[in-house]
Amino acid sequence: MTDSQSTPSDTNPSGQRYGAGIWHFATYVDRYATDGYGDPRTIIDAIDIAGTVTDLSVVDLNWPFFGGDFSNEQVKEALDRNNLGVIGITPEMYTRTFAKGAFTNPDPGIREEAHQLITRAADVVRYFGADYVKLWPGQDGWDYPFQVDHGALWKNSLDGVGRLASENPDLKFVIEYKPREPRVHMSFDSVSRTLLGIEKIGLPNVGILLDFGHALFGGESPADSAQLAIDYGRLFGMDVNDNLRNWDDDMVAGTVHPIELFEFFYTLKKNHWEGVWQLDQFPFREDSVKAADSAIEFLKAVQRGLDKLDIPALVEAQEKHDAIGAMSLVQKALFSSY
């Protein structure tokens, strides 16, 4: 298990470990700039760039590795020279083959292909000693009314995850829910639906990776989503970023919703949840190293703010549902900590 703490240093006195999805350091295309927002990079290039972020300890790696035919050993060598560990492996179960779904594809052969792909990704998790296989079923869902049999689709989602989890009891599988995109409506769309599914699967090694931005995008309060996932014993990982709430913009953490981000981390602290604080950002037009450094600087301010927060006074304010009293404590702690 990846430790939540590393050795404290001058730049990182608390020793909290920070992570990022390796795609943070790639370049992107979208449906308009089909020529991309930068020259293509290989996963090795991206790891070498990630290595220049001041306090990054771990990365989540897409698999198969992008930009070339790289072996685990080659990737490990790049990680080692940059002092980076691996927290998770994200099998690419959302690419063209899986346009109509991975777990829920109407073609049983493609469903089996998804299963085999993720099974191979499980071995990559073992190779790197990572914490989990990250399932992001971005194409599993539907677009139009009457397109699917909802009962059958949900059953396939749960059977797909359940089969992997039961065949690999030594590993954790985390489901990262999100309301939509690329599928117009994703099956695992919210914290509550994902928890219902996980409870139905009934295995100890399936949990949630809570993406702060996906919760915002879905109209949730991320702190409440975190509390619910923790109460069910299923909060296995997290990502932070920010957005304007009506899309998964994956902007720099803390830039738009600093108070809700602070409440999210307060909730983790209150529940003694310990783990890597991970970035899932897509700096389309920004320098990716500056975007990561800036987010981590803000996360350190969040941490100092949590140390400063008058928790007994906050608890007292919350007992009365005193919004203004609570907010004045929170604003004082956070805004004086940057």
Q: 323, exposed or middle or buried, with CB in 10 Å at 0-12, 13-18, 19+?
A: exposed
Identity of the residue, 111 or 234, whose beta carbon is nearer to Fe ion in the bound complex: 234
Stretch that binds Fe ion, among 140-148, 209-217, 261-269, 326-334 (CB under 5 A): 209-217
Identity of the residue, 55 or 248, whose beta carbon is nearer to Fe ion in the bound complex: 248
Judged by CB under 5 A, the residue of 239, 242, 249, 293 near Fe ion is 239
Hey, which bits of the chain come out as E strands? 18-21, 56-63, 85-91, 132-135, 141-142, 172-175, 185-186, 206-211, 235-239, 277-279
Dist CA 65 CA 145 (whole Å): 36
Stretch that binds Fe ion, among 91-99, 231-239, 252-260, 325-333 (CB under 5 A): 231-239
Least distance CB 231 / Fe ion (angstroms): 22
Is residue 140 within the footprint of Fe ion (CB under 5 A)?
Answer: no
Least distance CB 28 / Fe ion (angstroms): 13
Is residue 263 within the footprint of Fe ion (CB under 5 A)?
Answer: no
Secondary structure class of 317 (helix, strand, coil): helix
Identify any residues that bridge with 91 across adjacent strands, giving them in sequence order.
63
Least distance CB 253 / Fe ion (angstroms): 11
End-to-end CA distance of the chain: 31
Chain residue at closest Cβ approach to Fe ion = 280
Is residue 211 within the footprint of Fe ion (CB under 5 A)?
Answer: yes
Decide if 228 contacts 201 (C-beta within 8 A): no
Judged by CB under 5 A, the residue of 248, 249, 263, 293 near Fe ion is 248
Decide if 335 contacts 302 (C-beta within 8 A): no
Judged by CB under 5 A, the residue of 66, 280, 292, 326 near Fe ion is 280
Hey, which bits of 136-230 come out as E strands? 141-142, 172-175, 185-186, 206-211
Which helix (H) or strand (E) segment holds residue 308: the answer is: helix 288-308
Identity of the residue, 156 or 278, whose beta carbon is nearer to Fe ion in the bound complex: 278
Least distance CB 241 / Fe ion (angstroms): 7
Binding site for Fe ion (CB under 5 A): 211, 239, 248, 280
